[in-house]
Copies of this chain bind each other. A is one copy, B any other.
Amino acid sequence: MPHRSPDLSLPVLQPNRRALSHASVLADHDAKEKCGVFGVWGRPDAVELSYLGLFAQQHRGQESAGIAVLNDEGIDSVVGMGLVSEVFGEREIDRLNKRPLRGAIGHNRYSTAGGSLACNTQPLVERFHGGQVAIAHNGNLINAALLREKFERQGHLFHTTSDTEVIIHLLASPTQQDLASVGEHEPMRATLRRLQGAFSLVFLFKDRIEAARDPWGWRPLVLGRMPSGEPVVASETVALHVAGAEFLREVEPGEVVRLSDAGIESDRFADPVERPAYCIFEHVYFASPASEVFGQNVQRVRESLGAKLAEEAPVEADWVVPMPDSGRSAANGFARASGLPYREAIVPNRYVGRTFIKPTPEQRRRAVRLKLNVISELVDGKRLVIVDDSIVRGTTTREKMRQIRAAGAKEIHLRISCPPIRHPCYFGVDFATRDQLIANARTVEEIREYLGVDSLAYLSLEGLLSCASHPNEHYCTACYSGDYRLDIDHPIAEGVVTEEQLRMFG
């Protein structure tokens, strides 16, 4: 690993302030991203491996998928709307499989309601003075709009509305060389230092892949190695596993890693921060139960959440029923801790994909019935503990509760394995706007009434953090607590940070 320059500072200001009127900054840019990234270097089967990796990370984004490859003619890519299996057929795979392949990167993108644009699919591929570059991004930059405005004023063109495009403009900027005076030797490090927010990035250049993780470590990013030694990078360990790679270690916060014929080389673009901001929601809901995230297996964390919940909010009941598939791990933990029998009384339809069903209320009722079948023989006349992982808007949960009641449940005790989600996330998870969050302006009792259940309990924030292995203050819990780690109201465009700024950082 190259030497580390002694006092790299970080572009962070005024942490811990509540976001009040962020809309103006985010308005016309699609800032809501919840994605997966993947990269592999030096494998002739780079396309297949990327496909497998994206497949394994499909839970991180179902809106679009894309793979960019490097061969002798340069970078080519196929991106499209839909699931990995929908975007990539034999023709697409064949097109990418022009030998000799040197490397490939891939991207899954989350489906956000309405504002999804085909031009925003990733990897983005651009041509600039340094040649071609492809980029895949998981996270969200809070100073993207400011940087973009600056570039536009300088005459730069944009052809997407994504925050990711500014990263390439930064990278292509000739003024990067001027930064040498403040200690930066490479455009990449200078670029990364100017980004504020959450980012796990994978770049494909003509001779290498580079992978970087923001200094707070919001999103996971892991390194692996194929049995024959070639390096792999992915959002989650499950993608390494499916691609047949061994998990080496996490990319550290503030680290940029180069994957090339020389193997894996590490560099830092920023000092480690004192207080990382690992997204606790990755553990609660987002990551695969099969992955190791922030040093813990996700499935085991979720079982612990259920057990903790049983301890915090016990209830007399006939049996514990998981809300499939998201609540199963916690329900299992709850059942074991409480000693109540575990029964799968709600059966999901495995084949539900896209349907033509229109979003009328009657149709929504049908859609829920289509997805979940309540087994009345197991529910009728029973007192049930229903365990789920979280409630966002509440509308679907209410419909589910109605169906359980209609199947004859005598009592419904709903248990949620995390605290109420009261605040939007600006760091890579697209919940909803503040107003759409059911817990934003309602008490738990009000929510219980709205859902029509006999009792409702959420896991406490302390309970949640007690199941996580890092110190409590090393997690971002903003969606529960409103405690944002970066000032989302006043992001700064330029990341050349002053002493003062440094001091403000926690």
Interface residues of A (CB under 8 A from B): 48, 51-52, 55-56, 58-59, 62, 83-86, 88-90, 93, 125-129, 152-159, 161, 168-169, 172-175, 238, 241-242, 244, 288-290, 292, 297, 299-300, 303, 325, 328-329, 332, 335-336, 341-345, 347, 349-357, 366, 369-370, 373-375, 377-378
- Write out the residue numbers on chain B whose beta carbons fall within 8 Å of the beta carbon of A84: 351
* Distance between Cα atoms of A350 and B289 in the complex (Å): 12
B153–A169 CB distance below 8 A: no
Main secondary structure of the interface of A (DSSP, over half): mixed
Q: CA separation between A232 and B58, bound complex, in Å?
A: 37
A55 close to B355 (CB less than 8 A) = yes
Closest residue of chain B to A367 (Cβ to Cβ) is B52
Bound-state CA distance A84–B354 (Å) is 10
12 cross-chain CB contacts under 8 A: A52-B369, A58-B349, A58-B350, A59-B351, A86-B353, A125-B159, A127-B152, A129-B155, A155-B156, A155-B169, A157-B157, A299-B378
A353–B152 Cα gap in the complex (Å)? 42
Cβ of A357 to closest chain B Cβ, rounded Å = 8
Most buried by B among A62, A174, A343, A347: A347
Q: Report chain B residues within 8 Å CB of A175.
A: 155
Q: Select A153's contact among B52, B129, B378, beta carbons within 8 Å.
A: B129
Q: In the complex, A375 Cα to B58 Cα: how many Å?
A: 18
Chain B: CB-nearest residue to A90: B356
Q: How many copies does the complex hold?
A: 4
Given A56-B370, A238-B373, 13 additional A-B pairs, CB 8 A: A52-B366, A56-B373, A58-B350, A85-B353, A126-B158, A127-B161, A128-B156, A155-B156, A157-B168, A242-B369, A242-B373, A288-B347, A288-B373
Give chain B residues whose Cβ lies under 8 Å from the Cβ of A86.
353
Contact call B300/A329, Cβ cutoff below 8 A:
no
Given A93-B356, A159-B126, A369-B242, A290 and B347 touching (CB < 8 A)? yes
- Measured in the bound complex, the distance between the Cα atoms of B128 and A153 in whole Å is 8
Chain B residues with Cβ below 8 Å from A153 are: 129, 174
Nearest B residue (CB) for A170: B155
- Can you name the residue of chain B whose Cβ is closest to the Cβ of A322? B344
A83 to B303, CA, bound (A): 34
Minimum CB–CB distance from A490 to chain B (whole Å) comes to: 22
Task: Identify the closest chain B residue to A291 (Cβ).
Answer: B373
Flag if A353 contacts B125 (CB, 8 Å): no
Q: Output the least CB separation between A306 and chain B (Å).
A: 12
Chain B: which residue is nearest A343 at the CB level? B332
**Which residues of chain B are within 8 angstroms of A328 by Cβ–Cβ distance?**
344
Compute how far the CA of A172 lies from the CA of B352 in the bound complex, rounded to whole angstroms.
Answer: 38
Q: 9 smallest A-B Cβ distances: which pairs?
A: A290-B373, A58-B351, A297-B377, A129-B152, A155-B173, A290-B347, A155-B172, A126-B157, A127-B158
Nearest CB of B to A493, in Å: 15
Report whether A370 and B52 are in contact in the complex, using a CB–CB cutoff of 8 Å. yes
Q: Is the CB of A356 within 8 A of B290?
A: no
Tell which of B51, B300, B350, B373 touches A325, judged by Cβ atoms closer than 8 Å: B350
**Identity of the chain B residue whose Cβ is nearest the Cβ of A94 in the assembled complex:** B356
**By the criterion CB–CB under 8 Å, are A55 and B157 in contact?**
no
Check if A353 sits within 8 Å of B83, measured CB to CB.
yes
A349 & B55 in contact (Cβ 8 Å cutoff): yes
Complex-state Cα separation, A125 to B90, whole angstroms:
30
